Each structure stands twice: as structure tokens, then as C-alpha cells.
Amino acid sequence: MSELRNLSYRTKIIASVAIFSALYGTIRLIPLGPMIGLSSSFSVADSLAPLYGIILGPFTGGLSIVLGTFLAIALGKLPVFLGLDFLPAMVNAVALGFLVKGSWKSVAILNSAILAIFLLSPYSLLLVEIPISDQIYAFPFVWLHLAALILLISPLRSKAVSGLRTLKTTYLPWSLTIIAFIGTMIQHLTGNLVFELTWGQPIGGLTAEGFKGIWSLAFFAYPVERAVLVLITVLVGIPLVKILKRSLFFGNNSNSN
């Protein structure tokens, strides 16, 4: 016990990165569901990205995801985005790491910037046309992202972070749900941009019309995908956050890196 308490901060960080990158790389091999427009699949590890930011902080959590992603590639999982597969989950972890440390304004700026780039991209779909009762209605493709951004800048974000810090059973599920939802939507936006960058012309073969067809299908699927990821995050996160936040190993340094 006393030996663990006397571990240096640097030693704890190195051990954390080693353990959690190996865990992430292994779980990344477990498929969760197909990616629309690609012959690949989402991974169960995508649901761990918010927890890496919450538990390990922005830098340790982000680095663990980067190393874990390349470990998964070394273990046989084929890269989808020319080696940039780590980027969406890393941005999620880094953003939530800063969020729980209180730097919500920087996260809001990051979220707004990624959203703006996506909206300005020639490969992005702004409106989805949906026929309802013999009429065509246009809905914003990013409606759920706008909801996450509003939640991020609202007082609910502050209450969610406070509930997470207290670790009270009454508030923890709702706190994790709100925070994981914000991070998951940032991850989704980043993933969309990486997809457009690596699969659009001139690097890839997809045209703007090709992306339009993919986004039109993804519009109906991605809310369900994100809800499933958030649900897994909450179910896994409730016991995990309690154990690791209170553990002797992490102590009070989990959000100070």
C-alpha cells in the first residue's frame, strides 16, 4: 500500500498509458456495427473514448487512444482512414478531459470550429430531404450536433461535471450521459471530416455526389449509433469511474494531467 502511494506522478502516467493503450487496442478489435459506405465497422472501443478523457485526462487519455489504435492495427485491424483512425476518438477524449477540468470554453470553441469546417466542406450534406405525407421536408444533417453544442454551453453541462466529480450514485448516470453525448458527437463530426479528407478526391475516389448518398443514409443511422455508444459508455462508466476515481493508483491526479 505505502509503495503504491509513493509512486511518482510520472510513473503513474507511464503505467496508465501502458495499461489503457493495451486495453483500448484489444477492445478495438471487437466490432460493434457496420460503417455506412465503407467495408469496415465501428468498434466497441469507440464507447471507451469518453471514459478515457474523464478518467485519465486530456493528455494521458488522448495518448492512450493513439497508441491503442496503432496497437490494434498491429494486431490485424485494417486502418480505414490512411492511418488517421485514431483522430476521432482522440479528439473525444481530449475534449472531455478538458471539459471535466473546467475548460468548457475551449471545448466549445473546438466543437464550433469542427462543426464550421464540416459545414463549409464541399463534401458535406447540409440538408436532408425527407418525404412526409406527399411533401418534401428539409432537415439539417447536423441537427444532433447542434443539440450537443447547445448542451455544451448550457448550465446542464456545469451540473453534469459537478455530478461527475461528486460520484454520487443519484447523479452519476445522468452526468455521464450528458458528458458522453457531447464527446461522442464531437467524435462523430471529426470522423466525418477524416472520412471526407481521406476518401474524397483527390486522395480517394468519392465525389460530392457519392458523399451525398452516404450522408443521406447516415442521417437516419447515426442518431441510433451514437445512442448505443453513449449507452455503453454509461453502463461501463458508472462502476469504472467510481472505482478508478477513488482508487489508490490514480488518486487525485486523474484530472490534473
246 exposure class (CB count in 10 Å sphere: 0-12, 13-18, 19+) = exposed
Nearest to 162 by CA among 112, 100, 85: 100
Nearest to 146 by CA among 173, 122, 118, 165: 118
Lowest-confidence pick of 44-53, 122-131, 201-210, 241-250: 241-250
- For position 243, what pLDDT does the model report? 80
- For position 248, what pLDDT does the model report? 45
Nearest to 114 by CA among 136, 93, 145: 145
pLDDT average, residue stretch 109-135: 93
Q: Which cell goes with 43? A: 468498434
Return mean pLDDT, the chain: 89
Lowest-confidence pick of 58-67, 88-97, 101-110, 132-141: 132-141
Nearest to 71 by CA among 19, 126, 147: 19
Sign of CA dihedral 125, 131, 136, 138: negative
CA distance 127 to 124: 9
CA distance 35 to 55: 28
pLDDT average, residue stretch 18-29: 96
Say how many C-beta atoms besides its own lie within 10 A of residue 70's C-beta.
17
Lowest-confidence pick of 35-39, 120-124, 156-160: 35-39
Lowest-confidence pick of 94-98, 166-170, 223-227: 166-170
Residue 185 pLDDT level (bands cut at 50, 70, 90): very high
pLDDT in tens, 59-95: 999 999 999 999 999 999 999 999 999 999 999 999 9
| % of the chain surpassing 90 pLDDT | 73
Q: Are 89 and 53 in contact (CB under 8 A)?
A: no
Lowest-confidence pick of 48-62, 140-154, 241-255: 241-255
- For position 6, what pLDDT does the model report? 53
Q: Is the pLDDT of residue 230 over 60?
A: yes
